[in-house]
Amino acid sequence: ALTGYVTLAAALDPQLRRRLSEEAHVHGAEFLYRWLCIRDPVRARAIDPADRYRVLRALEVALAAGDARERKRPHVSLVTQGVPFLKVFVEIDDARLHRRIESRVDAMLGGGFLEEAECIGADAVAASAVGYPQAIAFLRGWSTSRELRATIVRATRRYAKRQATWFRTEPQTTWLTSCDAPARIRTLAREKL
């Protein structure tokens, strides 16, 4: 069931993607989300209206597939498929998280991230994701390499904080500390799954 969605998503029209990228630059997130609500209300309910990337991706799928009211394919999720699942958020202390973020940023920069950002370009929807605006600013000569690293680290820390805040509102999420996570996850999986 999930493979049908993946196949459809993989075969989408590049012109449609460009059009939606242009729409995203002209219209605000609220407009795009309302458009998605009209085209595919079921999928819209599963997406945070402020998550522009996911809203645009869902719009792309909805527009490529035709009017949501005409489609016979039901919304597919773990819940609708009856698949048992466990949502776990592993909380890591700030100092450790910050070290891991810095290490990840260094690995990204050393692994070709600037080349990737250059290929994607400033107009792509993905160019608004964490790290890309900073990389594009660097490529345009607006920052130094030290500033590039510092701004990506800062943006990633802020994003991690927003994620933690968002997960606190997620229903049925089990919060664990990093020291007890492996053993607790095994226990919870045996109990709930």
Average pLDDT over residues 27-48: 87
- Transcribe 98-109 into DSSP letters: HHHHHHHHHHHH
CA distances from 191 to 20, 84, 85, 91, 184 (A): 44, 11, 11, 21, 10
d(CA 9, CA 4): 9
Task: Work out the mean pLDDT of the chain and round it to a whole number.
Answer: 84
Residue pair 129/53 in contact (Cβ under 8 Å)? The answer is yes
**Contact between 67 and 39 (Cβ < 8 Å):** yes
pLDDT at 3 over 60: no
Q: Go through the chain and tell me how many residues it has.
A: 193
Look up residue 22 and give its DSSP letter: H
Region 1-14: mean pLDDT is: 48
Structure tokens at 143: 């920052």
Q: How far apart are CA 64 and CA 128, in angstroms?
A: 23
What pLDDT, in 10s, does the model give residues 164-186? 888 888 888 888 988 888 889 98
pLDDT at 2: 40
- For 78-118, the pLDDT digits (tens) are 777 788 888 889 999 999 999 999 999 999 999 999 999 99
pTM: 0.59
156-166 mean pLDDT: 92
